[in-house]
Amino acid sequence: MKIAVCLKRVPDMDVRFKIAPSGKAVDETGLKFDISDFDGYAVEAALQIKEKLNAGEVVVISLGGDVVQETLRKAMSMGADRAVQLKHDAVPVDSFAVASALAAELKDGGYDLIMFGRMSIDTAHGAVGAIAAELLGLPCVTAISKLEFDGRTAKMRRELEGAYELVECALPAVVTIDEGIARPRYPSLKGIMAAKKKPLETKPAQLPAERLSLDAMALPPERSAGRIIGEGPDAVPELIRLLKEEAKVL
């Protein structure tokens, strides 16, 4: 099976972000970057399919400046076979623009399965996968948490609020990956060495004009500091009073 995984480079989220002086970006000083969470699950899921079938190829693709080469190398050190960088220094927030550039690359790739994350963890729109699928004329199943194959039919599960759906679709297809499907492996030393020799191709990204712009970024208002009201079951009456009189939720 020939599988493509589209992945985005994003900052690690376990920091306190600062807004850059432009007011339109986060201050990147000191930030570490990695594969966006759901895209990491997609890489792992793709590798597991290839390992199970003991055949096929996993190709990773990222649109961005040369910094994304590091991210693509990481995916190759996990086990992806080769990588493509669609070069453009600023990644647009316009998901249609990003999807168009990715679809142009994916179009003649002969992929059986094309994987995306269900959303990128930074800009958080969750649209590139479905738009790319439409541009490619392929069926698309979004936010899947399980994936199996019955011949050329993919059988999937999607989580809803308090429920789930079982979904089927014939290959070739586009899927977007939710958590639950696979937890990404850590690259082994051997994998890291091997990745240095794997092919990484760079091409200019073909981007249409953007129709969505990021105008401002701000930090949400700080919550007031937490307050401990007491210990053990004895604190319950005071909690009830506060929920009634102060928070007015009872």
Ligand X SMILES: Nc1ncnc2c1ncn2[C@@H]1O[C@H](COP(=O)(O)O)[C@@H](O)[C@H]1O
* Sites for ligand X among residues 58-87 (CB under 6 A): 61-64
Q: How far is the CB of 130 from ligand X (least distance, A)?
A: 8
Nearer to other proteins, 83 or 172 (CB): 172
How close are the terminal C-alpha atoms of the chain, in Å?
A: 56
Q: Which does 195 bind (CB under 5 to 8 A by kind): ligand X, other proteins, none?
A: none
Q: What part of residues 111-150 is at the interface with ligand X (CB under 6 A)?
A: 116-117, 119-120, 123, 125-129
Name beta bridge partners: 83.
60, 200
Site string for other proteins, 207-236 (x = CB under 8 A): ---xxxxxxxxxxx--xxxxxxxxxxx-xx
Using DSSP's 3-state secondary structure scheme, residue 2 falls into strand
Nearer to other proteins, 68 or 97 (CB): 97
Distance of alpha carbon 74 from alpha carbon 94, whole angstroms: 26
Q: What part of residues 3-42 is at the interface with ligand X (CB under 6 A)?
A: 6-8, 36, 38-39
| Neighbouring C-beta atoms of residue 175, cutoff 10 Å | 27
Nearer to ligand X, 89 or 150 (CB): 89
By CB under 6 A, how many residues form the interface with ligand X?
A: 24
Q: What part of residues 119-158 is at the interface with other proteins (CB under 8 A)?
A: 119, 121-127, 129-131, 133-135, 139-143, 145, 158
What are the CB-based long-range contacts (under 8 Å, 24+) for 183-187? Answer: 183/41, 183/44, 184/35, 184/40, 184/41, 184/43, 184/44, 184/78, 185/44, 185/47, 185/78, 185/79, 187/74, 187/77, 187/78
Q: Which does 63 bind (CB under 5 to 8 A by kind): other proteins, ligand X, none?
A: ligand X
Whether the CB-CB separation of 81 and 57 falls below 8 Å is answered with yes
Q: Which does 104 bind (CB under 5 to 8 A by kind): other proteins, ligand X, none?
A: none
Distance of alpha carbon 157 from alpha carbon 141, whole angstroms: 10
